[in-house]
Amino acid sequence: MNLLSLVGISDALAEAAAPSAQASHGSFLSMLPMLAVFLGVFYFLLIRPQQKRAKEHQKLMSDLAVGDEVVTAGGIIGKLTKLRDKHVVVQVSEGTEIVLQRASVASVLPKGTLETVG
């Protein structure tokens, strides 16, 4: 008695289900163009836009300057008062400053935005 007969599969069914080596080689070659198209679509829809966003955010981080009005990832709006290597100091109101990681700055606002918001 073998394992297939214990599971309830007869020898004839097991042999019919086993693909031949020639058939599997031919089916792989026929699927290769589809796999290449799938990888190309995956790259252009997922990987490339993410790399572009990361590059733009890195440029934003390097272009920060004292006096810029910014929005953080948490939605805090303020003006940059000090820049450090990995941190920034943001003034959110008169006499209130907070220290944040540089990467938490989501965008730079146009000058004068704080006067219209506050």
Reduced to 3 states, what is the DSSP secondary structure of residue 15? helix
What pLDDT does residue 97 have?
A: 96
- For the chain, the domain total comes to 2
What is the rounded distance in angstroms from the CA atom of residue 113 to the CA atom of residue 107?
13
Whether 21 and 38 share a structural domain: yes
Whether 7 and 56 share a structural domain: yes
Domain holding 107, by residue range, is 65-117
To the question of pTM greater than 0.75 for the whole model, the response is: no
Whether 7 and 42 share a structural domain: yes
What pLDDT does residue 41 have?
A: 94
Higher local confidence (pLDDT), 28 or 44: 44
Whether 96 and 113 share a structural domain: yes
Whether 82 and 98 share a structural domain: yes
Give the pLDDT band of residue 56 (cuts 50, 70, 90): very high
The residue type found at 47 is I
What pLDDT does residue 38 have?
A: 94
